[in-house]
Structure 1
Amino acid sequence: VRTFDAEVPKDAQEGETFVAIGPEGQRVDVVVPKGAVAGDLVTAALSPHARSAPAPVVMGVPLGVAMAPYDLEAARNADEAHEVRVGTAMYALGWCTCCLLGPFGPLCWFFTWMRHKARPREERANYPRERLVARLSCATGLVAVVVHFALLVAAMGYFRHLDAACSPVYEQGRCLQTPLTFLPPGTEFVAHCAAECGPARCYNSWVWGGADGVYAGGSAICGAA
């Protein structure tokens, strides 16, 4: 009978049984002898009927069968085609958003440009079509930002000028004369509208009605005239 040395495992107590692995991978039941503690080497008998460990299974490619080579160029072209489709869709979405939500449209165009710039520099050179869509989106976004900024400045200037020209309307009571409620419809009377009351456009929000010369109560006579 062959023997081998087995190490008593941690927490094993005297008289308990533990499983040891033989020199050829066999699993052997060993009883902890009297006086042995964890870490001690004890002699174990190797039974001829001990179970051997199963042989390892090796996975491989059968002889004569060649693996198909990975086409890096085809994979890159497919990836670029996908990115071009995404970029084109975002470009169209940017126009829709710009028409409906104004300044939010450029966000879609800048997103396409940033997706391309997120690639490493040496990798971007291999995606010329994606780069074209990204540059077009970036240029469109910059032009849209400039146009929106110019419109904002023009609107601010217009309303500032209008406010300066129409300030007497809000400061002088004679500029906001209203129809006399006790006069019957069709009555004509003369109202003096001073020149400093401002142009007629200042009264756009102060005149209501006007059909057949009849204006709603509260309308400014100077604006109605």
Structure 2
Amino acid sequence: MKDLGTSSMVTIILAVLALLGAEAALWLSYFYAPVQITAGALFVVSPTPGVNTLNLYESHRIFFIHLPSAYATALCCGLCLVGGVMHLLSRSEKWDALTVSASEVGLLAGAITLLTGSFWADYAWGTGRIGSGWNWEPRLTTMLILWLAFAALLALRGAMPNVQARMKLTAVYGILVAPLYPLVQKAIEIGQVSHPRSFSDLLSAPEIGTTKQVATLGLL
């Protein structure tokens, strides 16, 4: 009972910290992070340097949700790998629970990454109409595949009545899901893509870098 009480208290504390972090990130993204990061020049993302430069204006603020959610998805892939390997070695239910929890959070974080990225793309290289930025380029497609992999893991697990077989399948599937995120990262190097290759110019602005860090900590 004491352990249960301690666990509940830790959960409450983490939930409160996450809420405060999210509130701080929202405030910083709207009132602290600037639209201009160099004198007289709006922040721009140019997929092909020198060609079709795109001004994002206020729409770039969705970046502070998009990037942290992508980090969270990557973390969930790593936790699936750890949980899967450790369960196969120990057969402990706690590692199975880790893989399942990571898959559920990964499904949510992946959905947020896809949605915010799609909304941002509608204005960055689309026409502004919903869905116009989705062009099936490698990074978008591989991220969608990763999200579907999380969904398939949870669906297959729920369809198996045998507990031991279910946990083993979850472990193996979790291990197989993990390498998909590095594939998402490398996909940016495959062919010509619209998605910016790097946010280093954007993050060079101290206000934007700080806001990104707070948003990432709040989400993770």
Q: Which has the higher contact order (CA 8 A, sep 6+)?
A: 2
> What is the TM-score with the length of structure 2 in the denominator?
0.27
Larger strand percent: 1
Larger helix percent: 2
